[in-house]
Structure 1
Amino acid sequence: MLEQLGLNPDDRAIIINADDFGISHSTNQAIMSLFHKGSSTSASLMVPCSAANEAADLCSKSNNSNVNVGIHLTLTSSESDSYRPVFQGYPLRSLVTADGFLPTDPAMIEKKAKPEEVRMELEAQIVKALSMGIDVTHLDSHAGTVMGVYAGRDFLEMVFDLCEKYELPFNLPLRIVEQRFFSKSLIRLFEQRIQSAKRRGILLIDDLIALPYHLDTEESYADMRDDVIRKIQTCKPGITQIVAHPAIVTDELKRLTPHFVKRELEYQLFNDPEVKQVLHSEGIHLISWREIRDLQKTMKRGC
């Protein structure tokens, strides 16, 4: 895929992806700021969230070509904010709690969700994003709820159906099968799903750098920056996504998460001149999911 994108096979390309776009006003402001400063190359929109409409509006008003947005397929609520399903044709009873909200526990989705209801909700999120004017670049999974990581029951083939229908790549890194903290059965599942994606012509990236969501008690900003720099310097050839959850600290953010300090530190991190200098000195190619999506479309139509 690197060569098809005009790069060399031993090059390293990185997508800097801001997750949770649409979860709050403070998150939207941070992500749009990162886009406009060239500090992020991609974002993933949580369509069921209250600030998703604002996020879409900000995108529509922006003339910045760096604004590339995919869908953070969402089947769970956060601990401090509840989300209702986007699909409103009839109640999706296997996806919601007694009060009609998506559950906070991802394992509940794996254990009780009916596949047809999962499909309807996920497609409704894609359709709504498109109707809001989002030029959707990719799909990925909020909290891993379609991946089978909690109870061993995944919904990836269903997601791949949607990837084919809407001509979108999916964020399932090939090197996920090298992660030792996953069980052997889950690794086998991922191997099967990766092969399925390849057969279907769905493009997958190579690796993922995920920053810890929590700030350790004694962790400083310098510690976090040094850790990210080390991960950038040691990333392997191929396409790697760095996952960030940036936000600007406001009263709203403090209400939504106890980890508000970490959220703003991640916003600062990708604006940091030292991080940008390392990306440059390491010869990293910054790309977005848009290039991968467009390549996938070209390859499918070429067949």
Structure 2
Amino acid sequence: MLQELGFSPNDRVIIINADDLGVTRSTNQAILQMFQSHAITSTSLMVPADAAYEAAQQCSRIHTLSVGIHITLTSHKSRRYKPITTQEKVLSLTDEQGYFYDEASDFEKFADPAEVKIEVEAQIQRAISLGIDPTHLDSHAGSVLGLYHNRDFLEVILELCVKYALPFCLPIRILEHPNFSSEQKHLFSQRIRLANQLGILCIDDLAGLDYHFSSDGGYEGAKRDLINQMNDLKPGITQFTTHPAFISDELKELTPYDENREMEVQLYNDPDVKDQMKRQNLKLISWKTIRDLQRKGDS
């Protein structure tokens, strides 16, 4: 893929993707500010979330912004979400009150793959109806990856990737991750092979600060960690995943990591971080670049 995009085999290419667009208004504000300051190259929208409509309206007016679908099939305990599609069609995805389960492990245990496909397609269609031209799919909380009971939903997700000609964020080097079991790695290997057979493009790796990263070292400690990750990148295409937001009352209700989220806004805008990317000769692309290459191959 590197060479098809005009890079050399040894180039290190990065996508900086801001997850959770639409989760709060302060998240939308931070992500749009980061796009305008060239601190991110892509974002992904949580269609069932409270501020998703506002986010879609804002993004639809910025045609250069790469917006994917952050497949959302779980709730936050303080912000509960309902399916986009008619609830009667996806009963296996919801609790007795009609909300998505709070825990991805419960979703994975009870969800019917056919109903997962119905809901995910409804989220794609809703985003399109709001003026979004989706560039990729990825998974909120990793809910479709089979991380808890080795019961994934990637086959139906990849079917939708084919239907809508979209790449999916399933990095090839997930097979090298030390925290996954041999069973999980075998499952990922099968799904990556299926994606290749279907012509769905896969990136090489994921990077970025962990959502629950420790701020014991403060801002400077987090910056050192981020820069070290950039220095240690292998050749290929790597997504740096970030969860930026400005601190607000609604963000504090959502997560105890509100300070981390605002810190990520500052980090990716930090002149030292941007300078290090240049020093390391890291090449920036968006998910739209990969989507367009995938569609070129389909034509």
TM over 0.5: yes
Kindly state the Cα deviation for residue 295 of structure 1 after the two structures are TM-superposed. 0.2
The percentage of aligned residue pairs carrying the same residue is 50
1:295 and 2:277 equivalent? no
SS at match of 2:79: coil
- Which residue, 131, 149, 162 being the options, matches 1:133? 131
Q: What does residue 246 of structure 1 align with?
A: 244
TM-score, length basis structure 2 = 0.98
Q: CA deviation at 1:79?
A: 2.3
Instruction: Give the Cα separation in 2 of the matches to 1:7 and 1:218.
Output: 38
CA distance in 2, matches of 1:76, 1:9: 38
Q: Distance in 1 between matches of 2:254 and 2:145?
A: 25
For 1:42 and 1:295, the matched residues in 2 are separated by: 16
Residue matched to 1:44? 44
Please list every run of 5 or more consecutive structure 2 residues that lacks an aligned counterpart in the other structure.
Answer: none
1:90 deviation in Å? Answer: 2.8
Look up the match of 1:201.
199
Kindly provide the amino acid, as one letter, of the partner of residue 196 in structure 2. Answer: K
| Distance across 2 between alignment mates of 1:300 and 1:228 | 36
Q: Tell which deviates more after alignment, 23-32 or 54-63.
A: 54-63
Q: How many residues align?
A: 299
Alignment of 1:156-195 (within 5 A): 156-195=154-193
For 2:115 and 2:213, the matched residues in 1 are separated by 36
**Equivalent in 234, 237, 246 of residue 236 of structure 1:** 234
- After the TM superposition, which residues 72-151 of structure 1 pair with which residues of structure 2 at under 5 Å, given as runs? 72-88=70-86, 90-151=88-149
Q: CA deviation at 1:89?
A: 6.4
User: Secondary structure of 2:225's partner?
Assistant: helix
Change in Cα spacing, 1:125 to 1:25, as seen in structure 2 (3 Å) is same
142 and 222 in structure 1: CA distance in 2 versus 1, 3 angstrom threshold: same
Q: Which runs of 5+ in 1 are unaligned?
A: none
User: How much has 1:62 moved relative to structure 2?
Assistant: 2.9
Pairwise CA distance, 1:166? 0.0
**CA–CA separation in structure 1 for the residues paired with 2:113 and 2:171:** 23
* Counterpart position of 1:265: 263
CA-atom RMSD, angstroms? 1.0
Q: Deviations over 1:185-214 (max 9, x none)?
A: 000000111100000000000000042112
**What do the CA deviations read for 1:75-98 (whole angstroms, capped 9, x no partner)?**
100121100001126352110011
Amino acid at match of 1:6: G
Check whether the contact 2:89–2:115 (CA below 8 A) recurs between aligned residues: no
Contact 2:67/2:135 (CA < 8 Å) preserved in 1?
yes
Aligned mates of 1:143, 1:53 — CA distance in 2: 21
* AA at the equivalent of 1:92: V
Q: Cα deviation per residue 1:119-152 (whole Å; 9 max; x = unaligned)?
A: 1001000000111110100001111111001110
Aligned-pair CA distance for 1:221: 0.6
Hey, what does 2:54 align to over in structure 1?
54
Any idea what SS the aligned residue of 1:92 has? helix
- Partner SS for 2:43: strand
Q: C-alpha deviations, 1:206-247, integer Å up to 9, x for none?
A: 000042112426231101010000000110000000000000
Query: What CA distance in whole angstroms lies between the structure 2 residues aligned with 1:185 and 1:143?
Result: 20
What letter matches 1:278 in structure 2?
A: Q
Separation in 1 of the partners of 2:237 and 2:167?
13
| Contact 2:93 2:107 (8 Å CA) reproduced | yes
